[in-house]
Amino acid sequence: MRTGSEPATARSPLRMRFWLSLWGLLWTLFGVVAFSMTGRPGWAAACAVVLLLAILDLGVITYRMRQGPHYQPGRDVPPYEPDHGDGRPRGPGPGPDGGGRNGGRAGPSTGRG
């Protein structure tokens, strides 16, 4: 949820995550090929696991980027009204005699002491 207190130029980090995942995908693909050719199956398997994670991350990033401004607000999406921190609850005002939601009466008795 946007609060309106972030900088005017704040943007979602999805594009940065996309490029970093793509960079990781390329390096792990290179690692899988290189370690397979040199006869190091353990390292090739480790690179393959990281390669699968990078592919999964790219899929999630692409999905969220395609969802539009709900998850990646652009310049045309206005910020929400910020919370001013005055502690007042949002919702209905005081009851009939000014004592809160239940009209100034005490809460239900618990039967204790």
- pLDDT of res. 64: 85
Asked if the model's pLDDT at residue 62 lies above 80, the reply is yes
- pLDDT of res. 60: 92
Q: Is the pTM above the cut of 0.85?
A: no
Cβ atoms < 10 Å from Cβ of 20: 14
- pLDDT of res. 21: 93
Asked if the model's pLDDT at residue 10 lies above 90, the reply is no
Looking at residue 38, the DSSP 8-state letter turns out to be T
The CA radius of gyration of the chain, in Å to the nearest whole number, is 27
Helices (H), 38-89: 41-66
Percent of the chain with pLDDT over 90: 41
